[in-house]
Structure 1
Amino acid sequence: MDDQNRQPPTRNRTAEDVVRDAEDFVPVLRALAVRTDEERRISDDIYRRMEDSGFFHILKPKKYGGLELTEEVHARVTMTLAQGCASTAWVFSILDADNSLFLCYPEEVQDEVWGTDSYATLAGYTGFNPRAKVEGVDGGYRVSGSWAFCSGSDFSTWLVFVIPIGERGEPHVIIVPNALATTVDDWFPTGMRGTGSRTKVLEDVFVPKRHVLSFPALQEGWVASRELHPTFDMLHTTFPSYGKFEFAGVAVGAAIAAVDHFAEHAASSTRVAHALGGDYRLADQDYAASEFAQASGDVLMARCLVERQSRDIAERTRQRVPSSELDLATWNRNYSLVTRTAVGAVNRIAALIGAKTGNPAHPVSRAKRDVEMLAHHVTLNWRQASVQYLAAATKPAAEG
């Protein structure tokens, strides 16, 4: 992380290689999950192993040592890692996906970021902060402000924020070296505790103009990078991409882990039931079979939807098929749907296990807290996604 001249992962690493590494990593993450939860961050060793496996090069152009893999690979790695630790999967997914924002900048900035450090990553908060203090100065701006929910910022090289510029306070994206920000240790949630999504503060930090982009310029830069990286299919998706399932895939992976945990322990698990005269085996109860079958089936459907949609999006980008408003609304609906499904499945499993899930170290307790926290993310709001989808699905076709 401080060895900027480290060589990038082997360029011939395939999708199967990185997915296999993620699968091999799951038992390690599972063993460290309680520690990650308690310390409210993933360990340096976990992060380094993800670097060495090439996870942060999945959606990075070959010009900078990237693997130029697909949305589908990103989704598969996310869901796999989440089966060991949802927080680790979240940090991976945020940092790998947010790298794509660098591709909205001119080549000189991309060279500045990745030219000497192929492992450089980006974290931060892309919600608009109209209260940030911005002063125009020679060559750029001096910026002060605070931004919460900066997932992955324990490790990222750069930070991204949105600030007001000009008399009308139009939102602009800025990138800033992480070393120029200070951290407020205010991340004490019930779930997703290991993401380290703390507040970052800038105090009169100079941001050069080359690191500032308006929203229209972001779109223009994304398209311009297609010529700079002609073999990178992902650049032909809509920016920002709705196809990575970077949030919802974490919820599905955590739900898979909860279902698997119950399956592994049900035969030897008992529940105390005084009304029935003592303990009884969960595996012998019809109600347990019904609830488990429902939960496992729901999780399988959610997993299949994530895999199919991410695969379809990867194929669309390969074929240069543009995305319609209905496509985007459908993808957003599916984000929220699989997350909602994951919450229901984990709650079924938690109810079967009973009071044992009151122990925060219990794997299903952690899964329950994590998926419920994920379901509150602004991009996964079911009602909002439903309204957006209905509006797009019933919109009259353009005349002519």
Structure 2
Amino acid sequence: MVARASELVPLIRERSQWIDENRRLPADVIEGIERSGLLKMRVPARYGGYQSDARTLIDVHAEIARGDSSTAFCVSVWSLINWIAGLYPDEVQDEVFATPNSRVCGTLAATGKAAPKNGGYVLNGEWRFNSGVLHSHWKLVVAEPDEAGAAEGPIMAILPASSFEVVDDWHTHGLRGSGSVSVRAHDVYVPKERVRPVMEFFDEQCKSETNSAEPIYQVPMLVTSTVATAGQCVGAAEAAIEHFLNRLPGRKITYTDYETQQTAPLTHLQVGEATLLAEEARLRARTFADLVDAKAARNEPWTQAERIRSRVEMGRVAQLAQQSIRIISTASGGSSIYNDVPIQRIHRDIETIALHALTSPNTNIELLGRHLCGLEPNTTYL
């Protein structure tokens, strides 16, 4: 899988400026991703999927991010949400994965409303930040039932992406190419088999009779989210360093006596520090992925402390990558602000990733400190 991802990097880099400017992935990149088989990483084996382990997700998503962060973000979303689809009853999966290279996107924010009807629900509302929806076949949404169904709390529903109206509002600072537009539902009916209470996904989550015995489907949802997301941060930091070193020969430091930036001690400190931060980010991500795979192999339950650690690892990996990229961005000089210089895009993208509610370093590190001080978590998202 990593080798196949590496083969895509030249194409993705060639198209990265187009991706950023057009706010979506081009057809040739989508076709390349489909041919690579990467969309099958978290698809159940009975549908031709690979049920790839956590380390594979980290390394593959890092490799795609070496090409472009928006592309990596979409691929990581499809890895995670395809996996979530594998938690639904088998008859739902038969529908979702009937399409070759099926792509499922989704969000966890309960910003829609659901009214019970004929055993299912009628959905209305708007959902933001739908990364990859422009290229997805199915979409997962969370909604609050009205009074008639309020007792069971928010529901998670999966529907064809074509059921929703697309709102072209993704005009952003970073991750522009992820096409994370808003969508609206207008009296969209979802049958009962495609609806589950949200809290099931934080407890005894797997409702698939076939997948319930598979180790990767026993891993908590937000732990899986960490291993699906962390790799792209690692790859972004490594890409920034690579692009910087490629530009380095012959570049001067304007208004100084240095004939080339390559000989300046400041450059050596910057490159050295940025590299160490990127290496630490990869090490943390891989170490956590290895823990996930080891616990899955032993079918061990996850403690509250381990679930908190998962959130912290996501925040810390993002923070390390962010620090590395900031150093490289500073070292890149005034000429790096042009659109055809990758570092400005990588910098914008990592700052955007670090603002994600589940990725935010500050939120996640505070959660760890709260736990260490003997307090209960102030979130159910564990």
Normalised by the shorter chain, which TM-score bucket?
Answer: over 0.9
Quote the residue 1:389 is aligned against. Answer: 368
Aligned partners of 1:251 and 1:370 also within 8 Å:
no
Give the superposition deviation at 1:134: 3.1
Secondary structure of the corresponding residue to residue 12 of structure 2: helix
Quote the residue 1:282 is aligned against. Answer: 261
Judged with a 3 Å threshold, the aligned counterparts in structure 2 of structure 1 residues 373 and 217 are, in CA distance, closer, same or farther, namely: closer
Give the superposition deviation at 1:52: 1.7
Quote the residue 2:356 is aligned against. Answer: 377
* Residue 192 of structure 1, aligned match among 175, 178, 182: 175
Judged with a 3 Å threshold, the aligned counterparts in structure 2 of structure 1 residues 334 and 241 are, in CA distance, closer, same or farther, namely: closer
Give the superposition deviation at 1:112: 2.1
Secondary structure of the corresponding residue to residue 127 of structure 1: strand
Name the aligned partner's letter for residue 121 of structure 1: R
Quote the residue 1:253 is aligned against. Answer: 235
Quote the residue 1:53 is aligned against. Answer: 36
Judged with a 3 Å threshold, the aligned counterparts in structure 2 of structure 1 residues 243 and 199 are, in CA distance, closer, same or farther, namely: closer
Give the superposition deviation at 1:141: 2.1
Quote the residue 1:159 is aligned against. Answer: 139
Give the superposition deviation at 1:66: 0.8
1:295 aligns with 2:287: no
Aligned partners of 1:78 and 1:93 also within 8 Å:
yes
Secondary structure of the corresponding residue to residue 223 of structure 2: coil
Identical aligned residues as a percent: 25
Secondary structure of the corresponding residue to residue 188 of structure 1: coil
Give the superposition deviation at 1:81: 0.4
For residues 337-396 of structure 1, what are the alpha-carbon distances to aligned partners after superposition, in whole Å with 9 as ceiling and x for unaligned? Answer: 111111111111111111112213211111111111111111112222122112333449
Unaligned runs of 5+ in 1: 1-17
Mean CA deviation greater in 213-222 or 333-342? 213-222
CA distance in 1, matches of 2:176, 2:229: 15
For residues 120-143 of structure 1, what are the alpha-carbon distances to aligned partners after superposition, in whole Å with 9 as ceiling and x for unaligned? Answer: 2211221111xx343332242222
Secondary structure of the corresponding residue to residue 270 of structure 1: coil
CA distance in 1, matches of 2:302, 2:273: 34
Give the superposition deviation at 1:78: 0.4
Quote the residue 1:238 is aligned against. Answer: 220
Aligned partners of 2:308 and 2:367 also within 8 Å:
yes
Name the aligned partner's letter for residue 23 of structure 1: S
Secondary structure of the corresponding residue to residue 189 of structure 1: coil
Within-5 A mapping of 1:26-41: 26-41=9-24
Secondary structure of the corresponding residue to residue 259 of structure 1: helix
Quote the residue 2:380 is aligned against. Answer: none
Name the aligned partner's letter for residue 93 of structure 1: S
Judged with a 3 Å threshold, the aligned counterparts in structure 2 of structure 1 residues 246 and 69 are, in CA distance, closer, same or farther, namely: closer
Quote the residue 1:144 is aligned against. Answer: 124
Secondary structure of the corresponding residue to residue 245 of structure 1: helix
Give the superposition deviation at 1:111: 1.5
Aligned partners of 2:58 and 2:289 also within 8 Å:
yes
Name the aligned partner's letter for residue 142 of structure 1: V
Quote the residue 1:134 is aligned against. Answer: 114
Secondary structure of the corresponding residue to residue 127 of structure 2: strand
Quote the residue 2:254 is aligned against. Answer: 272
For residues 96-117 of structure 1, what are the alpha-carbon distances to aligned partners after superposition, in whole Å with 9 as ceiling and x for unaligned? Answer: 1111221222111112222x32
Quote the residue 1:8 is aligned against. Answer: none
Q: CA RMSD in A?
A: 2.0
Unaligned runs of 5+ in 2: 377-382
For residues 58-111 of structure 1, what are the alpha-carbon distances to aligned partners after superposition, in whole Å with 9 as ceiling and x for unaligned? Answer: 111111111121111111110000011111111001011111221222111112
Give the superposition deviation at 1:244: 4.2
CA distance in 2, matches of 1:312, 1:77: 18
Aligned partners of 1:39 and 1:194 also within 8 Å:
yes
1:304 aligns with 2:283: yes
Quote the residue 1:335 is aligned against. Answer: 314
TM-score by length of 2: 0.92
Judged with a 3 Å threshold, the aligned counterparts in structure 2 of structure 1 residues 172 and 396 are, in CA distance, closer, same or farther, namely: closer
